[in-house]
Structure 1
């Protein structure tokens, strides 16, 4: 390709470093497209216990990249005259369901699509019964209960606040307007016309067989998410091949009826709280002195995704990974499409401790009156997991990395753990340093 993407070997080297050296993933797939064609590069595994290399047909949860599809549906319906971007959102809700107002203004569909509705990131009545699948039991009734009673604390149409709730509500309104469920609506209006046969929510056996296993930040397997009421915010699964087809349409390489709607998505803009970044309909647009790049990222408990397009240079990139990891995929996408530097690990240099040395730390440590920190070992790797007393669900497990004897850190945030050792060499407790605060943990028998 002559328009600026690195060759396959250089892209694969980035993926190898991310997975093998930094342990930031299990499997990664990159798709790039420009005027010369497209390429797919995969590295790693579809599952820690499955040595198949992920490729263009491997499915991943794409999380919030789904929002670009939701807003494309909105733009397409507006182009067809079925709906108006500036319709009050409440107009399309059932009788008895209201939306909050502020300063005499109503929330519009455009406000929902651009994260400027004043609604919060998540509803306050979001209380998962299953932490491993947190959106699975959030119902339409609970959504209606929240929006009907909520009082806005921000002005409508002027203040940016990223909102899964807002775009999830938008997707539901489009369902109501068409009488179709979200998945069917996406299939009929977008993925069907584009030939994206591997993009779906509910997977038949043939697609399930190609779904990569998700992993948490400790690279441990996690369950897949289901989103019911808020499907438009992040329910889709897809492949690199399908998303390359999607970008081909966005870049004008194929003539489709959605072309006008795709262009319309990027015209209206509102500012965000990040310098040189605006929000369009379902896309964020980063401006540099020489170009604009429209992008969106996504993440669920076990996956990360990135989609970016440079319309002027007619380039697009997709990055998919089956682990939720810091510095996972977004910086790779920006690096490939803009040349920006890859993210660096600003953490201490790790040292190697063998399985026997790590075993002495294994145990349970009381860190709160109602919670213990469980330290476990898998071969030569140590993991920490917060366990709430009496709760069936546990928090995600994070890998601990040693940078000195008896001192570890984990990648989820800036947490450091120092193990305390008695005169007899036995580990008696720990101190967790997090957000400038120390928490003592006493080892339980």
Structure 2
């Protein structure tokens, strides 16, 4: 489906709406310094990066607040709300990791096993020297960021993994990779004997209390699905691909995502097996520069300097291999974060368990990650200072 061209009157209306922030009623309970910090950090981004709309949610001690900027669609001019569906890109990986951790609590999989145990076509291959944990932490030995364009089907995917050769032994090199986390989700589904999408949408999301989060957006929810905008300002939505669901395919709302952050801050509110799984995603696995790679989440000691967050979320960290050192001792939980992007959307989430605070930002433009991290960090600092 293609968006129609807006007339001049609609464009002016769009611009006017985009420059207005509308906090929801619950935001009134947020301390003034926090509300001010949200407005000062995020409102300028609409104009600076030509972002049509941004939804921000913060949480402190279990109480959420919502701040909405701009519009979900340039064609309709519909304002962003906490119930607007955004593509969350690679933040989807935190759901895949949580699903895998949950499957381990039930004995369905073991993260210390090789993928060939659950996917016989990989037995005896170079990839089968790695563990599922290495797939989760991107340390299988140098799997690439994306599949080659020739990988278009599950058969292509299997053939690719069968011929793949590592650049390093498992556990020595961290190279951020959609195929890596995608294979983790795939073998988890094979072990469970159910499609990955069904495991997430029919089991995991309801247990987390997320009622408006999807991989496949149902027709009844399409009216809430924002349009993303690419570099040429064309309206776009995510393209299908091998392992899209596992790596970057989740669509969610600010209300649901801050609920997910709250579960990560207070895992005791979900059922005991899921509680254990959420806690397992917080365990640091590999030290990589300033960041510790866990299952889905990336973490830092707290308090953390902005420079460290920017380095850990940099293009260099995402696009290049880096030495990885196994974490052998338990660490105090610090700041956890994850970015996400598709062609037309940008997202960021972060939380600090010891401060009981968190933030989610969802946007329908893939604008620079450094700007997202910088804005969110300033709001987290305001939340921490408000205690």
TM-score (norm. length: structure 1) = 0.68
1:83-115 CA-to-partner distances (Å, cap 9, x unmatched) read: 2110111211134665415xxx81101001111
1:247 aligned to 218, 239, 261, which one? Answer: 261
1:249-303 CA-to-partner distances (Å, cap 9, x unmatched) read: 111176112111111111242011x32x110111100224577211111000000
Residue in 2 aligned with 1:315?
357
1:72 aligned to 79, 92, 98, which one? Answer: 98
2:193 aligned to 159, 179, 182, which one? Answer: 179
Distance change (3 Å), C-alpha of 1:59 and 1:3: closer
Cα distance in structure 2, aligned partners of 1:96 and 1:158: 21
Greater per-residue strand proportion: 1
Residue in 2 aligned with 1:213?
227
1:130-159 CA-to-partner distances (Å, cap 9, x unmatched) read: xxxxxxx72211111111001111221121
1:260 paired to 2:276: yes
Distance change (3 Å), C-alpha of 1:307 and 1:96: closer
Cα distance in structure 1, aligned partners of 2:260 and 2:378: 20
1:13 Cα shift?
3.7
Cα distance in structure 2, aligned partners of 1:230 and 1:201: 9
CA contact (8 A) 1:107 1:156 kept: yes
1:149 aligned to 139, 163, 186, which one? Answer: 163
Cα distance in structure 2, aligned partners of 1:108 and 1:75: 14
1:336 Cα shift?
1.9
CA contact (8 A) 1:5 1:336 kept: no
Cα distance in structure 1, aligned partners of 2:30 and 2:226: 31
Residue in 2 aligned with 1:110?
133
**Greater Cα shift, 9-18 or 140-149:** 9-18
Residue in 2 aligned with 1:238?
252
1:25 Cα shift?
1.1
Q: Could you tell me which runs of 5 or more consecutive residues in structure 2 were left unpaired when the two chains were aligned.
A: 1-26, 305-332
1:16 aligned to 43, 63, 78, which one? Answer: 43
1:204-255 CA-to-partner distances (Å, cap 9, x unmatched) read: 1221110110011343322432244342111111111111111111111761
Rg (Cα) greater in structure: 1
Cα distance in structure 2, aligned partners of 1:176 and 1:76: 14
Distance change (3 Å), C-alpha of 1:96 and 1:87: closer
CA contact (8 A) 1:12 1:42 kept: no
Distance change (3 Å), C-alpha of 1:190 and 1:16: same
Distance change (3 Å), C-alpha of 1:149 and 1:331: same
Distance change (3 Å), C-alpha of 1:84 and 1:124: closer
Cα distance in structure 2, aligned partners of 1:95 and 1:287: 40
Residue in 2 aligned with 1:188?
202
1:4 Cα shift?
8.0
Cα distance in structure 2, aligned partners of 1:38 and 1:263: 21
Q: Secondary structure at the match of 1:329?
A: helix
Greater per-residue helix proportion: 2
CA contact (8 A) 2:135 2:181 kept: yes
Q: Secondary structure at the match of 2:200?
A: helix
**Greater Cα shift, 148-157 or 186-195:** 186-195
Number of corresponding residues: 325
**Greater Cα shift, 219-228 or 318-327:** 219-228
Cα distance in structure 2, aligned partners of 1:5 and 1:310: 21
2:74 aligned to 36, 48, 51, which one? Answer: 48
Cα distance in structure 2, aligned partners of 1:3 and 1:155: 49
Residue in 2 aligned with 1:169?
183
Distance change (3 Å), C-alpha of 1:96 and 1:247: closer
RMSD: 2.5
Residue in 2 aligned with 1:271?
287
Q: Secondary structure at the match of 1:138?
A: coil
CA contact (8 A) 1:59 1:239 kept: yes
Cα distance in structure 2, aligned partners of 1:153 and 1:5: 52
1:344-375 CA-to-partner distances (Å, cap 9, x unmatched) read: xxxxxxxxxxxxxxxxxxxxxxxxxxxxxxxx
CA contact (8 A) 1:125 1:142 kept: no
1:94 aligned to 120, 145, 152, which one? Answer: 120
1:28 aligned to 49, 54, 63, which one? Answer: 54
1:334 paired to 2:377: yes
